[in-house]
Homo-oligomer: A and B are copies of this chain.
C-alpha cells in the first residue's frame, strides 16, 4: 500500500473518530476504490467498478460515504451543466476545467495567477475559502479541427 493512500486513510479515520462515526469496512473499501484510480467518477461508475470486483455495496451507502468524504475534503464534487454529479479525489489542489460542449471532454488547466487572485478575493470579501472550481465551457482543439474539415468538405 502506498504512502499517499495511508495518509488519506489516516485522515479519514481521524475525521470519523472526531465526529464519533463508525469505522465500517464499507467506508474504507469505498475510499480505497476511489483512490485506486485517478480522474473523475460518478456514483454509477463507482458502483459498477465495485460490483465488478464482487464487492457488494448499495447506492445508499455510496451516497452516504461520499457525503462524509466531501465533508472531510478528501473528495470533491462537480456538477457540470446537463450532467449528473461527478466526483474526484481531492489531492489535486486545482480544479480548473476546460469542458468541451461538443464532445464533453474535460481537460484540466493550471495558472499560477489564480492563487493570487483567490488570496485577494478572500481578503477583499472577508471570505474563508475552502474550495474553488473554475469551469470554462467552449470548443476543444479536436472539435475545432473536425468542424474545419467539415466546412472544407462541403465547399
Contact with B along A117-153 (1 / 0, CB 8 A): 1101110111111111111111111001000000000
* A80–B81 CA distance with the chains assembled, in angstroms: 9
Q: Which residues of B contact A122 (CB under 8 A)?
A: 138
* A117–B118 CA distance with the chains assembled, in angstroms: 13
* A85–B83 CA distance with the chains assembled, in angstroms: 11
On whether A111 and B101 interact (CB within 8 A), knowing A135-B132, A141-B126, A144-B126, the answer reads: no
* In the assembled complex, A79 has its CB within 8 A of some CB on chain B: yes
Is the Cβ of B138 less than 8 Å from the Cβ of A128? yes
Q: Which residues of B contact A101 (CB under 8 A)?
A: 130
* In the assembled complex, A109 has its CB within 8 A of some CB on chain B: yes
**How many of chain A's residues have a CB under 8 angstroms from any CB in B?**
40
* In the assembled complex, A114 has its CB within 8 A of some CB on chain B: yes
Instruction: Pick the contact of A129: B116, B117, B121, B138 (CB < 8 A).
Output: B138
* In the assembled complex, A22 has its CB within 8 A of some CB on chain B: no
CB of A84, distance to nearest CB on chain B (Å) = 10
* A82–B131 CA distance with the chains assembled, in angstroms: 15
Is the Cβ of A133 less than 8 Å from the Cβ of B130? no
**Interface residues of A, Cβ cutoff 8 Å to B:** 77-82, 85, 98, 100-101, 107, 109, 111, 113-114, 116-118, 120-122, 124-141, 144
